[in-house]
Structure 1
Amino acid sequence: MLRSVFNFLLFSSIYVAICAVMVIWHTNTLLGLHYPSCTYMGFVFASTICSYNFHWWLTPNTGDHSHRLMWGGRHRQLQLVLGLLGLAFSTALGWQLRTHWIPISIAVLLTFLYTAPKLPHPPFVWLRKIAIGKTLFLALVWTYVTSLMPVWMAGRKADLNVWLFVLHRVCFTYASCILFDERDLEADQRAGVRSIITYLSEHNRSNVYYAALIVSAGCAAMLYPFAPGPLVAILIIPILALTFLTGTAKRNHSDYLYYFGLDGLIMLGPVLHLLWRMI
């Protein structure tokens, strides 16, 4: 029963939606942002449930030994229902945020463009051939929704500290996305999906990966003294954890390691920040 509940939370994308909400809370707290944050976090939670479930509903079961694909194959109707529920709630909450329709519309368009190549229609299938930067694109979408949109909605001036934080987030997320794309390299090649990762050699992919981690850590360090020392350390700890797990992730392609462990690192910093505030 516990395994079934865990699989449901993980593979229904509730877990990754919680990760997104925690990162938004972290952004709000670290940068001192004030806006209808609870409504926005509810909107992002519902939108994540919607977009991820439709994304995986459109992903065929290739027969690979993937716990996520096998779970999705057994629960296709559930994924569709969750996608529709997420769409309904995100629409209702998005209407409450209609004064911010420009940044929200941009987020909706970017999210759609990431999943669009999954649609089995010629214009969308064609996108697979030009999705060269899909890894960076996903990192930018995640950072835009969780780190930049809150700044925009709060009317906060994007000063140096804001841009350092945003660059820290996008580089860390990009490094994580590289590991996912390396794991899915053969599947993407079979499906005709092109990306920077499919073109680069393993050596060059490694260089880009570690460069992203170094830049992310450097930007976090440069936030001092705007952010106190403990908070800077909290930003750097997930980077060290991802570096430590790199070798394991390249050898072990378990869905649990990736969708629970690596995705979970995205909210490790926010969780540590929350615990630090409670002490």
Structure 2
Amino acid sequence: MLKSIFNFFLYTSVYISVCALLMIWQTNQILALHYPQQTFYLFVFFSTICSYNFHWYLTPGAFSQSDRLQWCERHRNLMLVLCGTGLAGALYYFWQLREHWLVLSGGAILTFLYSAPKVPHKTFTWLRKIAVGKTLFLTSVWTYVTTLLPALMANQVFSWPLLFLGLHRFFLIYAICILFDYRDVESDRKEGIRSLITWLDLSSLNKIYYFSLLIAAVTAGLLGPYSTLPVIFTLMAPVVFTAGLTDMAQRRPSDYLYYFGLDGLMAFSALLHMAVSVLFKS
């Protein structure tokens, strides 16, 4: 029963939606942003539920050995219901935030571009031929929604902390996405989707991977003058953990390791940041 509950929480994308909210919370704290945060949290939550269930609904799983894809194959009707529920909730809260329609629409377009190659229509299948597109789309949408979009909602167009936090998030997520590309190489080739791992040899891919982690660490350090030392340590933590899990992720591509562990590392610093905030307040 506990495993079934955990699988439901993980595979319905509730987990990844909560990760997005934690990352936005951390952005609000680091940049000291003021805007309708509660409404925005709900908009992002429902949007993430909609987009991820749409993506996984389009992903074939009948002949896959992946636990997640097999679960999705057995619960396709549920995924459609969640997609529709997420869309309804996203539209409701979008209307409440309609004065920010332009910047919110940018996130919606990026999100759709990630799943668009899976739509079985020639209008979209050409996107499968774009080299490294999958990785860049996913990294860009996560960075935009969790970092840049909250700042734009608060009318903060540019600041050095925003730049450094955005770069830190981008390169950390990019490194994590490279691990996903490494794991999904065979399925991507079968679907005709090009990614870094189908385009580069392993040596070149590893150079980009570790360079991305290095930039993530450096930009976290550059936030030092604008934040506290404990917060900087929380930003460094997922970089270190991601590097430490590299060998295991490449050798043992477990769905739990990827969709719980690696996905969770995107929000790990936010969770630590929250714990530090509680400790210092007490």
Query: TM-score band, normalised by the shorter chain?
Result: over 0.9
Aligned partner letter, 1:274: M
Q: Whole-Å Cα distance in 2 between the matches of residues 241 and 201 of structure 1? A: 24
Q: Whole-Å Cα distance in 2 between the matches of residues 55 and 133 of structure 1? A: 16
Q: Whole-Å Cα distance in 1 between the matches of residues 249 and 118 of structure 2? A: 25
What SS is found at the alignment partner of 1:34? coil
Q: Whole-Å Cα distance in 2 between the matches of residues 131 and 206 of structure 1? A: 17
1:54 equivalent in alignment to 2:54 = yes
Q: Whole-Å Cα distance in 1 between the matches of residues 79 and 234 of structure 2? A: 35
Q: What TM-score do the two structures reach when normalised by structure 2?
A: 0.97
What residue in structure 2 maps to residue 252 of structure 1?
252
Q: Whole-Å Cα distance in 1 between the matches of residues 116 and 21 of structure 2? A: 24
What residue in structure 2 maps to residue 224 of structure 1?
224
What SS is found at the alignment partner of 2:189? helix
Q: Whole-Å Cα distance in 1 between the matches of residues 41 and 198 of structure 2? A: 34
Q: What TM-score do the two structures reach when normalised by structure 1?
A: 0.98
Alpha-carbon distance change, 89 to 54 in structure 1, aligned in 2, over 3 angstroms = same
- How far residue 197 of structure 1 moved from its aligned partner, in angstroms, is 2.6
C-alpha contact (below 8 Å) 2:143/2:166 kept by paired residues: yes
What residue in structure 1 maps to residue 71 of structure 2?
71
Q: Whole-Å Cα distance in 2 between the matches of residues 256 and 216 of structure 1? A: 24
- How far residue 156 of structure 1 moved from its aligned partner, in angstroms, is 1.6
Aligned partner letter, 1:112: F
Q: Whole-Å Cα distance in 1 between the matches of residues 49 and 87 of structure 2? A: 8
Runs of 4 or more, structure 1, over 6 Å off, are none
Q: Whole-Å Cα distance in 1 between the matches of residues 155 and 114 of structure 2? A: 27
What residue in structure 2 maps to residue 146 of structure 1?
146
- How far residue 62 of structure 1 moved from its aligned partner, in angstroms, is 4.7
Matches within 5 A, 1:1-279: 1-130=1-130, 132-279=132-279
What SS is found at the alignment partner of 2:90? helix
Aligned length: 279
Show structure 2 runs of 5+ residues with no match: none
CA RMSD of the aligned region, Å?
A: 0.9
Q: Whole-Å Cα distance in 2 between the matches of residues 270 and 27 of structure 1? A: 9
Show structure 1 runs of 5+ residues with no match: none
